[in-house]
C-alpha cells in the first residue's frame, strides 16, 4: 500500500474569532456561572477536543490535563501523554495534553503545539549565543534552551590556519578566543543524550560577534528558513547592515564589515588564504567606529524585528525589508505621535503596510 504523507493541518481555522467573541458574551458568562456551581459528584466537564470538533463549534485548544482523545487509532506526539483510564469495567488508554496549545494532526499522529516554548536545539540550526562559562577545554554557551550548549575548543577555528591541531597552549589561552559574556554565532553540530547541544564555529560565517546590537525575541518568532544571515541596505546614510536571525530567538544586528576591510594596503586576499588572513582579526573584541547614522538604523532594524515578532509575522529578508521601509517612511512623516520604538500602534501600522493587510480584520488592503 502506498503511503502518502499529508501536510500538517491546523485545526483552528476560522473559528478563533467566533470563539473569542462568544466567550465574552453575556449569555456565555451566565452559562459559566451555572457550570461553576459545585456538583456533588465533583465531576469536571472536560470534553475532548476532538469531540468538540465533531460538533464543529469550537477550536481545538487544549489545556494541560485535558483529554485530547480516547480513540485508540491515534498516536501520541509532542505535548501529550498516554493515560490509562479505568471507567467502570472498561480499561482504555487516552491521549492527554501536557501543554496548553492547539491540536495538530499529521496522518495519525496527534500533537499539541504550545503558543510559546523554549528553544529545543536541532542539528544544523544557526544560533546566536552568549558565553556563560569558560572551562579548560570548552565553553558553556547560553542559547535560550533548557540547558546550556557546549562549544568545544576543538570545534572552533584556531588562528593560524583551519587545519591546525589544538595544542595545550590553546587550552591555556582559551580566554583569548572567547571569554565570559562574549556573543557568538554558531551552528548546532550534535546533540547529547539529554538534549543539550554541541556547537561549532568551523566556518568563516560563524564566530565572535561585534559591531552590533543584540535583540532577544521569543524563540517561536524566528522560524527555520533557507538563510538566516541577511544584509539590509539602510536609509539615511546608514550603509549596509547585517542581520543574523538565530533560530533560538537571539538576533544580532551589526554594521556590515567585509574581511578585507581591515587591510591597510588594500591588497586583495586570495580565496585560498582567506581563512588564515581572517583568523587574526576573528577573535578581536574591539568594536570598530560606527557612525551615529548607522547606529540609528541598526536600532531601527532591531525595532522592526521586534514588531514583526510581536505581530506573529514570519521574519525573512522580504518582510524585514518591507517593514524597515515602512518604518523609515513612518519616521519621515511628521506625525504628532511619532514613535520610533515601534512598540505600539506605529509598529502595527508598519507591519500592516508591509503586509498590505489589516491586522484587526484580517482583510487585505488595496495597495
Partner 1 sequence: MTDRRRINGPSEGTTPPVFASAVVTKPTPTRAPDSLRKIFLKTSLTPPATGSAFLELPSPAPYPNSSTLKITASVYGPRPLPSSAAFSPHARLTAELKFAPFSTPHKRRGYVRDAVERDLSVQLQNALVKSIKTGAYPKSGIDVFITVLDCEGGLDGDDDEGVEVGLMGVLAGAITCASAAVADAGIECVDLVSGGVAALVKRPQNSDAMDTDGMNAPMLVLDPSPADGYQILSAAVVGYMAGREEVTLLWTKGSVGILDGEEDELDLLMDGAIMTATAVRLVLNEAVKERMLLGLARSKGKLKEDGGGDVAMSS
Nearest to partner 1 of 42, 292 (CB atom): 42
Q: Of the candidates 21, 108, 164, 335, which one interacts with partner 1 according to CB under 8 A? A: 21
Q: Is 165 exposed, middle or buried (0-12, 13-18, 19+ CB in 10 A)?
A: exposed
Using rule CB under 8 A, residue 61 touches partner 1: yes
Q: Distance between CA atoms of 177 and 82, rounded to whole angstroms?
A: 47
* Cell 500533537 -> residue: 111
Q: Is 217 exposed, middle or buried (0-12, 13-18, 19+ CB in 10 A)?
A: buried
Contact 242, 229 (CB under 8 A): yes
Q: Supply the minimum distance, in Å, between the C-beta of residue 150 and partner 1.
A: 11
Rule CB under 8 A: is residue 125 a binding residue for partner 1?
no
Pairing of strands 109-114, 75-76: parallel
Query: Considering CB under 8 A, how many residues would be counted as binding partner 1?
Result: 59
Tell which one of 9, 20, 237, 341 touches partner 1 (CB under 8 A). Answer: 20
Q: Does 23 bind partner 1 (CB under 8 A)?
A: yes
H-run or E-run covering 162: none
**Other C-beta atoms within 10 Å of 196: how many?**
17
Over the window 95 to 114, marking each residue x when it contacts partner 1 by CB under 8 A and - when it does not, the resulting string is -x-xxxxx-----------x
How far apart are CB 62 and partner 1 at their closest, in Å?
Answer: 8
User: What's the half-sphere exposure (Cβ side, CA atoms, 13 Å) at 317?
Assistant: 11
The Cα 86–Cα 80 span in angstroms is 19
* 312 lies in the site for partner 1, by CB under 8 A: yes
The answer to the question of residue 22 lying near partner 1 (CB under 8 A) is: no
Residue 257 engages partner 1 in binding (rule: CB under 8 A): no
221 is a contact residue toward partner 1 (CB under 8 A): no
12 contributes a contact to partner 1 by CB under 8 A: yes
* Contact track, partner 1, 67-96, x by CB under 8 A: x-----------x-x-x------------x
CA–CA gap between residue 227 and residue 317 (Å, rounded)? 9
What single string gives the DSSP state of each residue in 232-271?
A: EEETTTTEEEEEEE-TTSEEEEEE---GGGG-SS-PPPPT
Identify whether the C-beta of residue 244 lies closer than 8 Å to the C-beta of residue 214: no
DSSP state of 119: B
Of 21 and 137, the one with the shorter C-beta distance to partner 1 is 21
* 140 part of the interface to partner 1, by CB under 8 A: yes
Q: Which of 162, 274, 290, 357 binds partner 1 (CB under 8 A)?
A: 357
Q: Which is closer to partner 1, CB of 128 or CB of 232?
A: 128
**Interacting residues toward partner 1 by CB under 8 A:** 12, 16-17, 19-21, 23-24, 29, 32-33, 35-38, 40, 42-44, 46, 59, 61, 63-67, 79, 81, 83, 96, 98-102, 114-118, 133, 140, 142, 146-148, 194-196, 311-312, 355, 357-362
Amino acid at each position: 500500500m502506498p503511503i502518502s504523507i499529508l501536510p500538517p493541518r491546523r485545526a483552528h481555522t476560522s473559528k478563533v474569532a467566533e470563539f473569542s467573541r462568544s466567550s465574552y458574551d453575556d449569555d456565555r458568562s451566565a452559562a459559566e456561572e451555572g457550570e461553576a456551581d459545585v456538583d456533588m459528584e465533583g465531576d469536571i466537564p472536560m470534553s475532548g477536543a476532538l469531540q468538540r470538533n465533531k460538533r464543529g463549534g469550537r477550536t481545538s485548544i487544549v489545556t494541560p490535563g485535558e483529554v485530547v482523545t480516547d480513540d485508540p487509532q491515534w498516536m501520541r506526539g509532542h505535548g501529550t501523554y498516554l493515560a490509562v483510564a479505568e471507567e467502570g469495567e472498561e480499561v482504555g488508554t487516552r491521549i492527554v495534553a501536557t501543554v496548553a496549545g492547539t491540536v495538530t494532526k499529521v496522518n495519525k499522529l496527534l500533537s499539541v503545539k504550545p503558543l510559546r516554548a523554549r528553544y529545543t536545539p536541532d542539528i544544523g540550526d544557526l544560533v546566536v549565543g552568549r558565553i556563560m562559562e569558560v572551562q579548560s577545554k570548552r565553553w558553556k554557551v547560553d542559547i535560550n534552551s533548557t540547558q546550556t550548549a557546549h562549544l568545544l575548543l576543538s570545534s572552533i577555528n584556531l588562528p593560524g590556519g583551519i587545519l591546525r591541531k589544538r595544542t595545550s597552549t590553546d587550552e591555556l589561552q582559551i580566554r583569548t578566543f572567547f571569554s565570559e559574556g562574549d556573543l557568538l554565532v554558531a551552528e548546532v553540530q550534535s546533540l547529547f543524550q539529554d538534549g543539550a547541544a554541541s556547537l561549532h564555529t568551523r566556518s568563516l560565517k560563524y564566530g565572535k560577534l561585534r559591531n552590533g546590537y543584540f535583540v532577544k525575541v521569543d524563540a517561536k518568532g524566528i522560524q527555520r528558513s533557507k538563510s538566516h544571515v541577511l544584509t539590509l541596505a539602510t536609509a539615511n546614510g546608514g550603509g549596509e547592515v547585517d542581520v543574523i536571525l538565530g533560530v533560538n530567538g537571539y538576533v544580532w544586528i551589526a554594521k556590515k564589515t567585509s574581511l578585507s576591510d581591515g587591510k591597510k594596503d588594500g591588497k586583495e586576499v586570495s580565496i585560498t588564504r582567506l581563512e588564515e588572513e581572517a583568523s587574526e582579526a576573528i577573535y578581536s573584541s574591539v568594536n570598530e567606529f560606527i557612525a551615529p547614522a548607522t547606529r540609528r538604523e541598526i536600532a531601527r532594524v532591531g525595532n522592526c524585528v521586534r514588531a514583526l515578532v510581536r505581530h506573529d509575522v514570519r521574519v525573512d529578508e522580504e518582510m524585514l525589508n518591507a517593514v524597515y521601509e515602512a518604518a523609515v517612511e513612518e519616521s519621515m512623516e511628521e506625525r504628532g505621535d511619532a514613535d520610533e520604538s515601534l512598540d505600539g500602534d506605529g509598529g502595527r501600522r508598519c507591519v500592516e503596510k508591509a503586509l498590505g493587510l489589516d491586522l484587526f480584520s484580517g482583510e487585505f488592503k488595496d495597495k
